[in-house]
Each structure stands twice: as C-alpha cells, then as structure tokens.
Amino acid sequence: MQSDYWDKPAFETIRPRRLVAPLVFNSAHSGRDYPERFLSMTRLDHLSIRQSEDAYVDELFARAPHLGTPLLRAHFPRAYLDVNREPWELDPAMFAEPLSERFNTTSPRVAAGLGTLARLVAENKPIYRERLTLDDARMRIEGIYQPYHATLQKLLSESLGAFGVAVLIDCHSMPRLARSGDRLAPDIVLGDRYGTTCATALVDLAEMVFAGAGLRVARNRPYAGGFCTRTYGRPQHGIHALQIEVSRHLYMNEVTLEKNEGFPAMRQLIERLLVALVSLDRGLLSPVQPASEKAAAE
C-alpha cells in the first residue's frame, strides 16, 4: 500500500547549527497535516477530528533549535497514528481481518480506544466509518512509526555521544483539568514515571520555572509519562526522559482550536524553560549506579 505521505514528509527534525546541550525535544502529537485518504475514511468533521491534537505545541517549543538543541516534530496527526504507544497496540474491532497474538490487543489504551491507531478522538467520538485493513496499519506503523522512533533514537544517541548524557523532553498539551474538591487543577503536569525516568534535578528545574510564573504544577498525576518517556528514560545509563503537559486553556481556545491571547506569554515562558534546561549543570545528569548494583560491586 502506498504511503499517505508519499509526496510530503510525515515528520521532520529541525536541527541547530551547532549542538550545545544534550537535549532532544519531541513533539509527537502536534501534527496537523491530514491526508485526504484518511479524511475520506472518517465520519468526523474537520474540527472534531482535530480534538486529539496537542495543537501548537511544536510552536511553543520552536525556539529549541535556535538555542542549540534539536526538535523532532510530527506532521501526521495523532488521530492518524500515535507514536507515543507501543508499535502494535491495536484494537481487533477496528480491523476487517483477525489479529494474531503478535499484536497487543488487550492494553488499557486499546480498551480506551487510544491504541497506536486510535479508534476514538477526544469526547469518545469514533473516527472511522468502516473497518481498516491490516495493510493500512502496516503502512502507518512500518512506514512512519518505526522511522520516527529510529530518528528519535538516533538523536538521543548523538547527544549521548557528544555529551555523555542525553535528555528527552517529551512535549505535550492536555485538556483543562477539573478541580478535585478543594484542590485547584494543575496547569502543568510533569511526568517522570514516579522518579524513574530522569534525574530529580531536571524535574525540580522545570517545576521552578513554571511555578515561578505563577502556574500550578503537579508531578505524575494524572499523567506520569507515556511510551516515549517510559521507553527512553534510562537515567542509570545517562539517558533521561521528562514528559511535560501544558494545559491548553493557557494558550488556546479548546473549542475552536484557535490560539488565544495567552499564546505569546506561554511561548515566552517555554523559552525561559529552554534557556534554563540548556544551562543545567550536566554533572547533575551523570549516570548513577543503582544501589543494588553498587552494593554487589563492593
């Protein structure tokens, strides 16, 4: 099956002129280039199909290459393919053919309709008119998902080789959260899989920047970090991964998906974060030998 992106890039890496810090920024959900074939398969209108986008997140972090760090960003939309999932998390109900045991068909994400190929967009709206073929899934996963992750892995390896450490900042946005009892909802959620995917200094720094701007910051609740954070974050080997979720109401209208008056201020704040991250003492990110291994070595 011919790729839906045969005549245009599905994603791109924006590289700095010179690499000055071990950071790699990843915006996997901000793509808004919807293939015509895909649009013909959906039952949703042009606004509904966009409800799953992390709209404009790539623009919020666009200064990263100017500060000496690469930015990997998707052009394909999340409703079309989600690279923050395992490669073959597929819902059997979505396909004309039966799925073999090699596919992960029972994950909580598949059950929620949010597998590698999503069944639903936000507000539980079904995406497709009819069932898909496995050839379609292979075209997206083998043709786009796998090259995307190969590119991300290469960028992290380059940073590791150049600096001895690498830091993945996984950039996302979230719907405005509801308050819980007397507790106000967070504006920012930082995910490090409960302290397992990056050095504490990294999370502390991000929290300091956002809280210093008057925003409410939470850690790991309700978003602890997805597939990318979990897969690439190996601080014991010098590779750190931190997921950042920015509440959309701070910079856009969540109904019309248009930028609001808060967008310039949020972009400035993100640039302040970028400068702080670039300036972070790399000694705080050095690989740490786990206590169990250290005891065994002694």
Q: Please, what is the average pLDDT of the chain?
A: 94
pLDDT at 296 over 60: no
| pLDDT of 16 over the 80 cut | yes
Question: If pLDDT is split at 50, 70 and 90, which confidence band does 182 have?
Answer: confident
Q: Which pLDDT score, from 0 to 100, does residue 63 have?
A: 98
| Local confidence band at 196 (pLDDT 50, 70, 90 cut-offs) | very high
Domain around 182 = 11-297
pLDDT of amino acid 292: 41
Largest Cα separation within the chain, whole Å, is 63
Of the candidates 8, 17, 277, 40, which has an alpha carbon nearest to the alpha carbon of residue 165?
A: 277
Residue 228 C-alpha from the chain's centroid: 7
Structural domain includes residue 2: no
Residue-level pLDDT at 221: 95
Token pair for residue 254?
Answer: 């969540």
Task: State mean pLDDT over 115-130.
Answer: 94
pLDDT in tens, 225-234: 999 999 999 9
pLDDT at 298: 41
pLDDT in tens, 36-46: 999 999 999 99
Specify if 196 maps to a domain.
yes
What pLDDT is stored for residue 288 in this prediction? Answer: 58
* Residue matched to tokens 């956002």: 210
> Which pLDDT score is estimated for 181?
72
Number of domains in the chain: 1
Q: 3 in a domain, yes or no?
A: no
Determine the Cα–Cα distance for residues 266 and 257; give it in Å rounded to an integer: 16
Q: What is the pLDDT of residue 281?
A: 95
Q: Is the pLDDT of residue 289 over 70?
A: no
Q: How many CA atoms lie within 13 A of 216 on its CB side?
A: 11
| Contacts (Cβ under 8 Å, ≥6 apart) of 257 | 47, 50, 53, 55
Asked whether the predicted pLDDT for residue 256 surpasses 80, the reply is: yes
- What are the backbone angles phi and psi of residue 71, rounded to the nearest 5°? -125, 120
pLDDT at residue 245 greater than cutoff 70: yes
pLDDT tops 60 at residue 131: yes
pLDDT at residue 186 above 80?
A: yes
Residue 18 lies in a domain: yes
Mean pLDDT of 142-151: 98
**Residue 238 in contact with residue 180, Cβ under 8 Å?**
no
| Six token digits for residue 75 | 């052009």
pLDDT in tens, 55-114: 999 999 999 999 999 999 999 999 999 999 999 999 999 999 999 999 999 999 999 999
- Whether 151 is in a domain gets the answer yes
Q: Is residue 31 part of a domain?
A: yes
Question: What pLDDT shows up at residue 290?
Answer: 46
Asked whether residue 207 is domain-assigned, the answer is yes
- Report the pLDDT averaged over residues 262-277: 98
| Alpha carbon distance 25, 31 (integer Å) | 15
CATH assignment at residue 123: 3.40.630.40
- At residue 291, the pLDDT reads 45
H helices, E strands: number in the chain: 9, 9
Of 110 and 122, the structure prediction assigns the larger pLDDT to: 110
Q: Looking at the domain assignment, is residue 5 inside a domain?
A: no
